[in-house]
A and B are shown apart, each in its own frame.
Chain A
Amino acid sequence: MNLGGLQAVKSMSVPSSSLSRKSGDGVSDQFPAGLRVLVVDDDPICLLILEKMLKKCLYEVTKCNRAELALNYLRENKNGYDIVISDVHMPDMDGFKLLEHVGLEMDLPVIMMSADDGKKVVMKGITHGAVDYLIKPVRIEALKNIWQHVVRKNKDEYKGKDCEQTGSVEDGEQQQKPPEDAEYSSSANEGNWKNSKKRKDEEDEAEERDDTSSLKKPRVVWSVELHQQFVTAVNHLGLDKAVPKKILELMNVPGLTRENVASHLQYRLYLRRLSGVSQHQNGLNNAFMGPTDATFGSMSSFNGIELQALASSGQLPPQSLAIIQAAALGRATNKSPVPVPLVDQRNLFSFESPKLRFGEDSLLNNNSKQINLLHGIPTNMEPKQLATLHQSAQSLGNLNMQLQSQSSQSGSLLTQRPQSQPRTPLLNEINGSHVSTLPSSLGQPIMSQALPSSVLPRNGIENVRGGTFGSVSQPSSALDFSVNHGTEFPGNSFPLMSNSGIPILTSKGMLQEEVKSEMKVPRGYLPNYDTFDELNQNRTQDWGVQTDGSTFDVSQHSNLQGSLDVSPSILVQQGFSSNLKSEQSRNIPVSKATFAVGDSRAGNISNPSQQLNSSPADISQRIKAERLPNMGFQNTFFPEQFGQDDLMSALLKQQEGTGAVESEFGFDGYHLDNLPV
Chain B
Amino acid sequence: MERNLHRQLANMKKSLFDQGYLDEQFIQLEELQDAANPNFVEEVVTMYYRDSARLIQNIDHALEKNPLDFAKLDNYMHQFKGSSCSIGAKKLKNECTQFKEYCETGNGEGCKRTFQQVKKEYAALKKKLEHYFQFARQVGPVEKACRPK
B-binding residues in A (CB < 8 A):
42-46, 48-49, 52-53, 56, 89, 114-116, 136-137, 139-140
Cβ of B91 to closest chain A Cβ, rounded Å: 15
10 residue pairs from A and B, CB less than 8 Å apart: A43-B79, A45-B48, A46-B86, A52-B37, A52-B40, A115-B78, A137-B25, A137-B85, A137-B86, A140-B28
Question: Is B78 a contact partner of A45 (Cβ separation < 8 A)?
Answer: no
CB-contacts of B2-47 with A (<8 A): 24-25, 28-29, 31-32, 37, 40, 43-44, 47
Question: Is A45 a contact partner of B83 (Cβ separation < 8 A)?
Answer: yes
Cβ of A416 to closest chain B Cβ, rounded Å: 24
Question: Is B40 a contact partner of A43 (Cβ separation < 8 A)?
Answer: no
CB-contacts of B29-82 with A (<8 A): 29, 31-32, 37, 40, 43-44, 47-48, 51, 75, 78-79, 81-82
Known: A49-B44, A115-B81. A43 touches B32 (CB 8 A): no
Q: Which residues of A contact B29 (CB under 8 A)?
A: 49
Question: Is A137 a contact partner of B28 (Cβ separation < 8 A)?
Answer: yes
Question: Is A136 a contact partner of B44 (Cβ separation < 8 A)?
Answer: no
The 4 closest A-B pairs by CB, nearest first: A115-B82, A137-B25, A52-B32, A137-B85
Q: Which of A53, A56, A89, A137 has the most CB of B within 10 A?
A: A137
Question: Is A136 a contact partner of B31 (Cβ separation < 8 A)?
Answer: no
Question: Is B40 a contact partner of A46 (Cβ separation < 8 A)?
Answer: no
Cβ of A270 to closest chain B Cβ, rounded Å: 30
Closest to B45 in A: A45
Question: Is A49 a contact partner of B88 (Cβ separation < 8 A)?
Answer: no
Q: Which residues of B contact A115 (CB under 8 A)?
A: 78, 81-82, 85
Known: A45-B51, A52-B32, A140-B28. A89 touches B85 (CB 8 A): no
Cβ of A134 to closest chain B Cβ, rounded Å: 12
Q: Which residues of B contact A45 (CB under 8 A)?
A: 44, 47-48, 51, 83, 86-87
Question: Is A137 a contact partner of B88 (Cβ separation < 8 A)?
Answer: yes
Closest to A42 in B: B79
Cβ of A99 to closest chain B Cβ, rounded Å: 18
Q: Which residues of A contact B48 (CB under 8 A)?
A: 45
Q: Which residues of A contact B79 (CB under 8 A)?
A: 42-43, 89
Q: Which residues of A contact B88 (CB under 8 A)?
A: 137
Q: Which residues of B contact A139 (CB under 8 A)?
A: 24-25, 28
Q: Which residues of A contact B28 (CB under 8 A)?
A: 53, 137, 139-140
Give the distance in Å from the alpha carbon of A52 to the alpha carbon of B38 in the complex. 12
Cβ of B27 to closest chain A Cβ, rounded Å: 10
Closest to B75 in A: A89
Question: Is A43 a contact partner of B86 (Cβ separation < 8 A)?
Answer: yes
Cβ of A251 to closest chain B Cβ, rounded Å: 45
Give the distance in Å from the alpha carbon of A49 to the alpha carbon of B32 in the complex. 9
Q: Which residues of B contact A42 (CB under 8 A)?
A: 79
Q: Which residues of B contact A114 (CB under 8 A)?
A: 82
Give the distance in Å from the alpha carbon of A635 to the alpha carbon of B13 in the complex. 65
Q: Which residues of B contact A116 (CB under 8 A)?
A: 78
Cβ of A41 to closest chain B Cβ, rounded Å: 9
Interface size in chain B (residues, C-beta < 8 A): 23
Q: Which residues of B contact A44 (CB under 8 A)?
A: 47, 51
Question: Is B47 a contact partner of A48 (Cβ separation < 8 A)?
Answer: yes
Q: Which residues of A contact B43 (CB under 8 A)?
A: 48
Cβ of A302 to closest chain B Cβ, rounded Å: 36
Give the distance in Å from the alpha carbon of A44 to the alpha carbon of B86 in the complex. 11
Closest to B24 in A: A139
Q: Which residues of B contact A140 (CB under 8 A)?
A: 28, 31-32
Give the distance in Å from the alpha carbon of A137 to the alpha carbon of B85 in the complex. 6
Give the distance in Å from the alpha carbon of A116 to the alpha carbon of B24 in the complex. 18
Closest to A141 in B: B28
Give the distance in Å from the alpha carbon of A140 to the alpha carbon of B83 in the complex. 16
Closest to A49 in B: B86
Cβ of A59 to closest chain B Cβ, rounded Å: 14
Q: Which residues of A contact B32 (CB under 8 A)?
A: 49, 52-53, 56, 140
Closest to A51 in B: B32
Give the distance in Å from the alpha carbon of A89 to the alpha carbon of B37 in the complex. 29
Give the distance in Å from the alpha carbon of A114 to the alpha carbon of B85 in the complex. 11
Give the distance in Å from the alpha carbon of A496 to the alpha carbon of B24 in the complex. 48
Closest to B27 in A: A139
Give the distance in Å from the alpha carbon of A139 to the alpha carbon of B85 in the complex. 11
Q: Which residues of A contact B24 (CB under 8 A)?
A: 139
Question: Is B47 a contact partner of A46 (Cβ separation < 8 A)?
Answer: no
Cβ of A565 to closest chain B Cβ, rounded Å: 30
Cβ of A597 to closest chain B Cβ, rounded Å: 28
Question: Is B82 a contact partner of A136 (Cβ separation < 8 A)?
Answer: yes
Cβ of A121 to closest chain B Cβ, rounded Å: 11
Give the distance in Å from the alpha carbon of A140 to the alpha carbon of B34 in the complex. 15
Give the distance in Å from the alpha carbon of A262 to the alpha carbon of B24 in the complex. 47
Give the distance in Å from the alpha carbon of A140 to the alpha carbon of B27 in the complex. 11
Cβ of A51 to closest chain B Cβ, rounded Å: 10
Question: Is A46 a contact partner of B82 (Cβ separation < 8 A)?
Answer: yes
Give the distance in Å from the alpha carbon of A43 to the alpha carbon of B51 in the complex. 9
Cβ of A93 to closest chain B Cβ, rounded Å: 15
Give the distance in Å from the alpha carbon of A56 to the alpha carbon of B31 in the complex. 10
Give the distance in Å from the alpha carbon of A139 to the alpha carbon of B24 in the complex. 9
Cβ of A142 to closest chain B Cβ, rounded Å: 10
Give the distance in Å from the alpha carbon of A114 to the alpha carbon of B82 in the complex. 8
Cβ of A38 to closest chain B Cβ, rounded Å: 19
Q: Which residues of A contact B51 (CB under 8 A)?
A: 43-45
Give the distance in Å from the alpha carbon of A140 to the alpha carbon of B29 in the complex. 9
Cβ of A640 to closest chain B Cβ, rounded Å: 40
Cβ of B73 to closest chain A Cβ, rounded Å: 14
Give the distance in Å from the alpha carbon of A115 to the alpha carbon of B29 in the complex. 17
Q: Which residues of B contact A52 (CB under 8 A)?
A: 32, 37, 40
Question: Is A48 a contact partner of B82 (Cβ separation < 8 A)?
Answer: no
Question: Is B47 a contact partner of A43 (Cβ separation < 8 A)?
Answer: no
Q: Which residues of A contact B83 (CB under 8 A)?
A: 43, 45-46
Q: A45-B47, A49-B86, A140-B28 are in contact. List 9 more A-B contacts (CB 8 A).
A: A43-B79, A45-B48, A45-B83, A45-B87, A46-B83, A48-B43, A49-B44, A115-B78, A137-B85
Question: Is B82 a contact partner of A43 (Cβ separation < 8 A)?
Answer: yes
Give the distance in Å from the alpha carbon of A23 to the alpha carbon of B57 in the complex. 49
Give the distance in Å from the alpha carbon of A46 to the alpha carbon of B75 in the complex. 17
Give the distance in Å from the alpha carbon of A519 to the alpha carbon of B37 in the complex. 59
Question: Is A48 a contact partner of B44 (Cβ separation < 8 A)?
Answer: yes
Q: Which residues of A contact B44 (CB under 8 A)?
A: 45, 48-49
Q: Which residues of A contact B87 (CB under 8 A)?
A: 45
Give the distance in Å from the alpha carbon of A404 to the alpha carbon of B29 in the complex. 55
Question: Is A136 a contact partner of B85 (Cβ separation < 8 A)?
Answer: yes
Q: Which residues of B contact A137 (CB under 8 A)?
A: 25, 28, 85-86, 88
Cβ of B133 to closest chain A Cβ, rounded Å: 16
Closest to B32 in A: A52
Give the distance in Å from the alpha carbon of A44 to the alpha carbon of B82 in the complex. 11
Cβ of B95 to closest chain A Cβ, rounded Å: 14
Q: Which of A48, A56, A139 has the most CB of B within 10 A?
A: A48
Give the distance in Å from the alpha carbon of A127 to the alpha carbon of B38 in the complex. 41
Cβ of B22 to closest chain A Cβ, rounded Å: 12
Q: Which residues of B contact A136 (CB under 8 A)?
A: 82, 85-86
Q: Which residues of A contact B47 (CB under 8 A)?
A: 44-45, 48
Closest to A115 in B: B82
Cβ of A420 to closest chain B Cβ, rounded Å: 25
Cβ of A527 to closest chain B Cβ, rounded Å: 38
Cβ of A25 to closest chain B Cβ, rounded Å: 32
Q: Which of B37, B78, B88 has the most CB of A within 10 A?
A: B78
Give the distance in Å from the alpha carbon of A196 to the alpha carbon of B75 in the complex. 48
